[in-house]
Amino acid sequence: MRPFSLIAVCMLWCSPSAFAQEEAFDADELLGFAQEFIEENGAVLDFLGVDVEVANKLVNDLQTQFQGTYVYDLSASRDAARELLPILQQFEETQDYAAWLQSRLDYFDVAEQLQKQATVGKTNVTRLPSPTPQTQRRAWVTVVEQRPVPAVANKYILPLKKIFTEERVPPQLVWVAEVESSFNPKARSPAGAVGLFQLMPATARSLDLSVGVLRDERTNPEKSGRAAAKYLRYLHDRFADWRLALAAYNAGEGRVGGLLKRHNAKTFDEIAHWLPSETQMYVPKVEALVKKREGMNLADLRSQTRTNRD
């Protein structure tokens, strides 16, 4: 077994509900758990063919990258993520995690592309400046240009657009589900987010969804769609900007609000490089997909929302 299989092994030996129902659980804690698993089960891992020393280094490196705000660091995890995906897809216990990871593989690809572009014609560069939001927007437009609509999306788009319209949210934003889960209602993140729109347990409960072992309404496309629309409307009401609202949806409204206040900023671009790497890429990815699927910019959606409220 190659070291990239480590986290898959950890997931297989643990109940998925142990991850999903712990509200404070995040990717950093998952990696911390993996670290403990290595230390406590070194002999077992040796038996499975995992080099414990290499595995420790992999987890430490991933932990640093998940915590960081330097987008280029994600490129180092590209091969690991691609090795991990087919392993997760093989087992019923981890297929929901595979759906989550699959919708995020392009983050690693884009990070690598951006890094290669930034190093063209440069030598002896110890640390590249982070890619600007404008650079990332251009990269995502190129990446999604030839991307077909996921086949499974066709059964969800029209019902979800109706729900978003009823909740006074631009229906074009249903494509957030493509970014979050590739329209897989069973997608589950290691942090505990579930469903088409990857709602965390606490957020889902605050939006009147039932979240439990026997019944989890986040896997219901219509109910999770309505909850996501309500949450997006709330975030837009607070930040009055769709880029900021989407950043808050991904990274948390407290973090976004705190950065705006701390840096006396008003726009996503002004605070982007202080946000987690995933969020820095998430916002332009959503923006590019809305443009590709609907032919509209996020700025166009803002006035539509105001019109709907009048």
* Residues designated as active site: 180
Name residue 211's beta-bridge partners. 216
Collapsed DSSP state (helix, strand, coil) of residue 226: helix
The encoded tokens of residue 32 equal: 């911390």
DSSP alpha helices (H): ranges in the chain? Answer: 6-12, 16-20, 27-40, 42-48, 52-67, 78-90, 95-102, 105-119, 133-144, 157-166, 176-181, 201-206, 221-239, 242-251, 253-262, 268-271, 277-294, 298-309
Q: Phi then psi for 280, rounded to 5 degrees?
A: -55, -35
The count of C-alpha atoms lying within 13 angstroms of the C-alpha of 98, restricted to the half-sphere facing its C-beta, is 17
Collapsed DSSP state (helix, strand, coil) of residue 276: coil
* 114 CB burial (10 A radius; 0-12, 13-18, 19+): buried
CA neighbor of 173 nearest in space, from 308, 12, 5: 308
Torsion (CA) 256, 258, 261, 266 in degrees, nearest 10: 0
Interatomic CA distance for residues 275 and 284, integer angstroms: 13
Torsion (CA) 268, 300, 103, 134 in degrees, nearest 10: -40
Place of tokens 């995690």: 97
Q: Are 287 and 243 in contact (CB under 8 A)?
A: yes
Q: Are 103 and 181 in contact (CB under 8 A)?
A: yes
